[in-house]
Structure 1
Amino acid sequence: MAGKWIDIAAADGGTFKGYLTIPASGSGPGILLLQEIFGVNSSMREVADYYAEEGYVVLAPDLFWRMEPGIELGYSEADFNKAFGYYQRFDANQSIKDSADALKVLRGRPECTGKVGALGFCLGGKLAYLTAARTDVDCAVSYYGVGIEADIGEAAKIKGPMVFHFAELDKFAPAEAREQVKAAFAKRPDVECYLYPGCDHAFAAPERTSFNKPATLMAHSRSIALFRKVLGPHYDLSTLWDRHTELEFGIRSAEATMGTMVAEPYVNHIPTMTGGVGYRDLLRFYANHFIPKTPKDTKLIPISRTIGADRVVDEMLFCFTHDIEIDWMLPGVAPTGKYVEIPLVAIVRFRGDKLYNEHIYWDQASVLVQIGLLDPALLPVAGVATAKKLVDETLPSNTLMARWAESAPQAAE
């Protein structure tokens, strides 16, 4: 997804640029993206494109334009020193006025439908806070905002919901500063403060040495949860997932299945590490190693479904007869003709109204027991009993624990 640069008129005269990117649908709620100290560089533009894929019209204004238009720095030591020099000269109060002008332009775009939120990283994390206090954005998300405590008196002016992401090891936003923010919003249930243990400043920047992918994924889900709740758009993720599985197991069309996914999706079957990353490999996997290599009598029996802001978690029974070599589950194992029932969990993440990834979990040991390749008498593993007990909790527990009987209460003498 590629955006474009547009002109933004400043209230006090002059114009400056902003990077605008539009979702594939052509319209959506707005997000005002507030830059780091490195300018609206390729990293910031990638964030904008990312949120456009989530369904938002995103505008990232060049807030350094009054010092020098079009600053784009990388993350080398030399560039960091340059960026810090700009930061020292930066007029935060004037930048909020420029942000308000950009916000007006964003709201006025025909593609921008409904409400607008603010999102910022580092310097932008503080600007997101100030924008929430001084403009009419509907909500805001701040990633490791630097220096918020200096303007903590403005917290009372923030009317909309907010999310703050802080890193435990961040010397630019130390514990004392974080505690001031938490205290200022202690009586605001619609303001959430999250701390990421073991993480440093810029943990959500893939190009930085401090990048922490697990924390980034968790923070993004929390950010999207706020934006979906306040701004929308609202997607029927349950129906989208049902359609995807119907195309896999019912229609059995690899191309149609891929049509339900983002441009570069991935699938990972955790126990066997099968699947694909990117459109070409995943299409190859679906067309040659998944759809035609899944038994025809396969049944998915739903047990529970949990729907979040950006994902669906399905708990089910996966039932089939092993009458074909199943490349993705039992690669290299000749058909045994055995019938198999296993509990299976699918964690399905979406971007906008398209599937982004699938993490699929099952107990491979239970599969191997049921097809006769693993002896449950030699190892603490179970076969079809795992599926039976998932459905009927009254079936015996702890049958693999030889010492279970030792803890039984003794009968009174």
Structure 2
Amino acid sequence: MIIQNQQHDIQTPSGAMRTYEYRPVAPGKYPTIIFYSEIFQQTTPIARSAAILAGFGFVVLVPEVFHELNPIGTVLGYDDVGKDKGNQDKADKPLENHDSDTQAMIDFAQTKDYCTGVVGAMGVCIGGHLAYRAAINPSIKSAFCLYPTDIHSDTLPAAQNNDSFTRTPDINGEIFMVFGKQDPHVPQAGREKIYQNLVQHNINYNWLEVNAQHAFMRDGGERYDPQLALKMYYTATEFFTRTLAN
């Protein structure tokens, strides 16, 4: 499936949010996936991931997750400077702002004649957390969360009782959690904590742990596992084809 891409500056309560859109060229209506990046925003690997997803028949929206804290178009490097800046942005942005960003993208998708109006969420690393977080919005039908960080540790700023772990009972749609067993950012104790929370609140979840390190989806990185990454793309697109059907 041939795709096209363009960019939009979507208005949010905290300012304009540059959002990159990937979608099929063929006319028709397609479900939407909000694809949340790592702390580095839309790097080349993230853009390639979005393009792959769009090629399976989805409108994919990639927001600049820290748009309030950086000039429009900012892409951080996969180096110590970029990592330090991204981690600082992660610590500075309240989770409530991510909620309003998500709602702005839902509103955007529901006004486009090439979208069905059905929306899911997907992300990697902090983006996996944001996909999980997005699932508390009743308009998000499903979420595919790849090695989501900071859920178990409650290390992101939020108002009282508004961290993502505490908000788990508000998840209405189906979620798919994927973790690497060798990921130091979400150790076994953290994974068990998340798992038990999902069970306790009777969330409709899928759970998968694989023999991989953190960021195994990032092509070109030293921890990249191409075979496993391909499997995850197929797993995610099958998941969304089912859960985002009209």
Q: TM-score range by the shorter chain?
A: 0.7 to 0.9
Supply the distance in 2 between the matched residues of 1:118 and 1:61 (Cα, whole angstroms).
12
Pairwise CA distance, 1:13: 6.3
SS of the equivalent of 2:167 reads: helix
Counterpart of 2:36, as a letter, is L
Residue in structure 2 matching 1:120, options 119, 123, 127: 123
2:167 to 154, 172, 177: 154
Q: Name the CA distance, whole Å, in 2 between partners of 1:77 and 1:215.
A: 26
Q: AA paired with 1:120?
A: G
The one-character-per-residue Cα deviations of 1:319-366 (angstroms, maximum 9, x if unpaired) are xxxxxxxxxxxxxxxxxxxxxxxxxxxxxxxxxxxxxxxxxxxxxxxx
* Aligned-residue offset at 1:114: 4.3
Q: 1:98 aligns with which of 101, 108, 111?
A: 101
Residue 214 (str. 1) matches residue 227 (str. 2):
yes
Residues 109 and 117 of structure 2 are in contact (CA less than 8 Å); yes or no, is this contact kept in structure 1?
no
The separation in 1 between residues aligned to 2:55 and 2:42, in whole angstroms, is 18
Q: C-alpha displacement at 1:196, in angstroms?
A: 0.7
2:224 maps to a residue whose letter is F
8 Å Cα contact 1:114/1:231 also seen in 2:
no
Q: Distance in 2 between matches of 1:88 and 1:208?
A: 24
* 3-state SS, counterpart of residue 82 of structure 2: helix
Residues 2 and 183 (structure 1), Cα distance of their counterparts in 2 relative to 1, 3 Å cut: same
**Equivalent residues of 2:59, 2:115 under 8 A apart:** yes
Task: Report 1:236-247 matches (<5 A).
Answer: none
Aligned-residue offset at 1:186: 2.5
Residue pair 1:5, 1:20 contacting (<8 A) in 2 also: yes
Shift in Å at residue 217 of structure 1?
Answer: 2.3
Which of 63, 80, 92 is 1:77 aligned to? 80
Pick the aligned partner of 1:48 from 47, 50, 53.
50
The Cα of 1:208 is off from its aligned counterpart by 1.5
> Do the aligned partners of residues 13 and 80 (structure 1) sit closer, same or farther apart at CA in structure 2, a change above 3 Å counting?
closer
Instruction: Go from structure 1 to structure 2 and tell me whether the alpha carbon gap of 1:52 and 1:67 turns closer, same or farther (over 3 Å shift).
Output: same
Q: Which runs of 5+ in 1 are unaligned?
A: 234-413
1:214 and 1:49 mapped to 2: Cα distance? 18
- Count of residue pairs brought into register by the alignment: 231
Given candidates 195, 199, 203, the residue that maps to 1:182 is 195
CA distance in 2, matches of 1:14, 1:86: 15
2:91 maps to what in 1?
Answer: 88
Write the deviation string for residues 295-333 of structure 1: whole angstroms up to 9, x where unpaired.
xxxxxxxxxxxxxxxxxxxxxxxxxxxxxxxxxxxxxxx
- Does the 8 Å contact 1:126/1:145 carry over to 2? yes
Q: 1:196 aligns with which of 210, 218, 240?
A: 210
> Distance in 2 between the 1:107 and 1:59 partners?
13
Instruction: Write out the 4+ residue segments of structure 1 that deviate beyond 6 Å after TM superposition.
Output: none
Shift of 1:2: 4.0
Higher relative contact order by CA 8 Å / sep ≥ 6: 1 or 2? 2
- Corresponding residue for residue 18 of structure 1: 19
CA distance in 2, matches of 1:13, 1:90: 10
Cα distance in 2 between the residues matched to 1:81 and 1:226: 34
Matched, 1:223 2:236: yes
Deviation at 1:32, TM superposition (A): 0.8
Amino acid at match of 1:216: A
Amino acid paired to 2:112: R
TM-score, structure 1 as length reference: 0.53
CA distance in 2, matches of 1:189, 1:158: 7
Q: CA 1:225–1:157 in 2, change beyond 3 Å: closer, same or farther? A: same
- TM-score, structure 2 normalization: 0.87
Tell me the equivalent position of 1:144.
Answer: 147
Distance 2:182 2:116 in 1: 39
Describe the shift of the 1:179–1:217 C-alpha distance in structure 2 as closer, same or farther (beyond 3 A).
Answer: same
Q: Is the 8 A contact 1:161 1:191 kept in 2?
A: yes
Choose 1 or 2 for highest CA Rg. Answer: 1
- Report the Cα distance in structure 2 between the residues aligned to 1:78 and 1:14, rounded to whole angstroms: 25
| Displacement after TM superposition at 1:63 (Å) | 2.0
Q: Which amino acid aligns with 1:131?
A: A
SS at match of 1:152: coil
